[in-house]
């Protein structure tokens, strides 16, 4: 039983014992049932319960809410209605995770199979182009190696999976121009939908992950077009430039129109903190590799980014939180057919996190250097042999520097010319209360990179 369901039962028992409900208890129901206070009030009124002012009987609202932070908070209450005289419905959902070895795909593969994940029990198919990596062996998923850019391979591997109920699309590919990105990524997504939708009569929902470039434009347009002013909200219009995120959304909208009852959600994270050694946007892993090389060579951890990144406010998106957000949207009717930002809900400065990174690796902390023209891509271009030494001396998982160090991406994030911030208001208004402490998130993912022996 999820924590959310436990809390709702506890509140109902308090209400039933007196046949009355306090304003604070009603607020708890507001959190748990999600959409708005009017809905919680309507549920109470339908049951003939009196409303009174005062404290909740038995325990305070704060205790009740603390109990709910995991599923009612972290997963934002992907909620099952509690009905006094009805047993919980037993059912199974079947997830297809496209990009299962990526940062968010890896989190989905860990969270979906858990016994108390909302919408479950879940059966999980995980799809990726690479062979299954050793660090994902423990995830109880059915791993499918498939090149979704190949229409025939996608048809051969995915069309036999006729029991899929939910698609989680969390992958992408990078090309030299955005026009090529639109073509390549659109083809991949279309190949998946062409193989799955006609063959899965019980398909209910498609989660599509895009990101913050929805508001600032593709990499090639940085500095060339004016982005929206932050904080970014979901109703901002599209920018007047090619963007493969827009291409994917258009494909999604067109396909769901063809199947009655099929719903969708779009998820727009910011910079993702997570674990995936081979991801093209693996910022935490890349910074860990950089810190390990600095430690090995006995040099300070120099900051190579902009003054804006150093002193300005940034936000980020924890990979587990993104996975929880997608699961919430997949099973909660109040989240259907909507686009949502997903970030941790707080802000940070890189000058603080740079010290955290240095402390985690026992390396000298470097300050921002005014007027410097450093890039990690330039600094790390000849460090392949150094990395080989580090791997061998510390008995690490065998990797090559080009696989675990995504220097161009780290330079891009640390070199931002202006702050990029999202608002989470829409998700909260629809019932998702999840959050993360970004400093704790940063440290926990550093620990995971170490635990899997990617860095010493």
Give residue limits of the domains in the chain: 3-67, 93-273+317-342, 283-315+347-451
- pLDDT classification of 136: cutoffs 50, 70, 90: confident
- The answer on pLDDT for 32 being more than 70 is no
Percentage of the chain beyond pLDDT 70 is 80
Q: Tens digit of pLDDT for each residue in 195-219? A: 999 999 999 999 999 999 999 999 8
Q: Tens digit of pLDDT for each residue in 65-97? A: 333 333 444 444 334 344 334 454 455 899 999
Residues 6+ apart with CB under 8 A from 147: 129, 153, 154
Identical topology for domains 93-273+317-342 and 283-315+347-451: yes
| pLDDT at residue 161, rounded to an integer | 98
Give the residue from 301, 324, 363, 335 showing the smallest Cα distance to 426: 335
| pLDDT at residue 25, rounded to an integer | 63
Pairing of strands 142-145, 166-169: unpaired
Pick the CATH number of 283-315+347-451 from 3.40.50.720, 3.10.350.10, 2.60.40.1510, 3.40.190.10: 3.40.50.720
Highest mean pLDDT, choosing among 81-85, 130-134, 187-191: 187-191
Which range, of 35-49, 159-173, 174-188, 273-287, averages the lowest pLDDT? 35-49
Tokens coding 171: 């992958």
Q: Tens digit of pLDDT for each residue in 342-388? A: 999 999 999 999 999 999 999 999 999 887 888 999 999 999 999 99
Strand partners, 143: 126
What is the Cα–Cα distance from 413 to 33, expressed in whole angstroms? 37
- Catalytic residue selected from 157, 187, 204, 213: 213
- The answer on pLDDT for 242 being more than 80 is yes
* Active-site residue flag, 213: yes
Q: Kindly state which CATH superfamily the domain 93-273+317-342 is placed in.
A: NAD(P)-binding Rossmann-like Domain (3.40.50.720)
* Active-site residue flag, 381: no
When pLDDT is averaged across residues 425-442 and rounded to a whole number, the result is 98
| pLDDT at residue 301, rounded to an integer | 98
| pLDDT at residue 65, rounded to an integer | 38
- Catalytic residue selected from 143, 169, 215, 245: 245
What is the Cα–Cα distance from 413 to 239, expressed in whole angstroms? 20
Q: What is the mean pLDDT of the chain?
A: 86
Alpha-carbon distances, residue 352 vs 312, 394, 418, 442 (angstroms): 11, 28, 18, 11
- pLDDT classification of 133: cutoffs 50, 70, 90: confident
């Amino acid at each position: 039983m999820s924590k959310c369901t436990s809390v709702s039962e506890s509140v109902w028992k308090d209400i039933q014992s007196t046949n009355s409900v306090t304003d604070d208890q009603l607020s708890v129901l507001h959190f748990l049932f999600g959409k708005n206070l009017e809905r919680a009030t309507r549920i109470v009124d339908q049951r003939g319960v009196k409303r009174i002012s005062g404290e909740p009987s038995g325990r305070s609202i704060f205790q009740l809410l603390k109990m709910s932070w995991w599923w009612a908070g972290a997963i934002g209450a992907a909620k099952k209605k509690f009905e006094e005289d009805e047993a919980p419905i037993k059912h199974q959902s079947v997830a297809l995770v496209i990009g299962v070895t990526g940062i968010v795909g890896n989190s989905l593969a860990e969270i979906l199979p858990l016994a108390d994940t909302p919408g479950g029990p879940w059966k999980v198919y995980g799809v990726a182009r690479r062979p299954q990596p050793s660090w994902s062996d423990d995830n109880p998923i059915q791993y499918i190696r498939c090149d979704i850019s190949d229409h025939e391979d996608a048809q051969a591997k995915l069309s036999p999976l006729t029991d899929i109920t939910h698609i989680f699309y969390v992958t992408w590919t990078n090309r030299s121009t955005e026009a090529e990105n639109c073509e390549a990524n659109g083809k991949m997504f279309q190949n998946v939908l062409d193989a799955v939708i006609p063959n899965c009569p019980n398909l209910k929902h498609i989660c599509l992950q895009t990101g913050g470039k929805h508001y600032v434009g593709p990499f090639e347009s940085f500095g060339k077009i004016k982005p929206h002013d932050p904080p970014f909200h979901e109703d901002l219009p599209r920018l007047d430039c090619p963007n493969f995120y827009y291409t994917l959304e258009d494909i999604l909208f067109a396909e769901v129109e063809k199947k009655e009852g099929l719903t969708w959600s779009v998820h727009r994270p910011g910079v993702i903190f997570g674990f995936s050694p081979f991801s093209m946007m693996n910022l935490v892993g890349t910074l860990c590799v950089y810190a390990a090389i600095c430690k090995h060579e006995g040099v300070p951890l120099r900051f190579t980014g902009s003054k804006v990144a150093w002193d300005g406010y940034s936000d980020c998106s924890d990979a587990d939180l993104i996975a929880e957000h997608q699961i919430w949207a997949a099973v909660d009717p109040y989240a259907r057919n909507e686009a949502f930002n997903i970030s941790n809900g707080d802000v940070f400065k890189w000058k603080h996190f740079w010290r955290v990174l240095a402390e985690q690796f026992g390396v000298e902390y470097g300050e921002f250097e005014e007027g410097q023209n450093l890039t990690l891509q330039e600094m790390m271009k000849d460090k392949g042999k150094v990395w080989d030494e580090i791997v061998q001396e510390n008995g690490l998982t065998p990797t090559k520097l080009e696989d675990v160090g995504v220097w161009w991406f780290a330079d891009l994030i640390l070199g931002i010319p202006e702050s990029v911030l999202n608002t989470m208001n829409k998700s909260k208004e629809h019932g998702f209360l999840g959050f993360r402490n970004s400093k704790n998130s940063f440290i926990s993912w550093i620990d995971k990179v170490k635990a899997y022996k990617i860095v010493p």
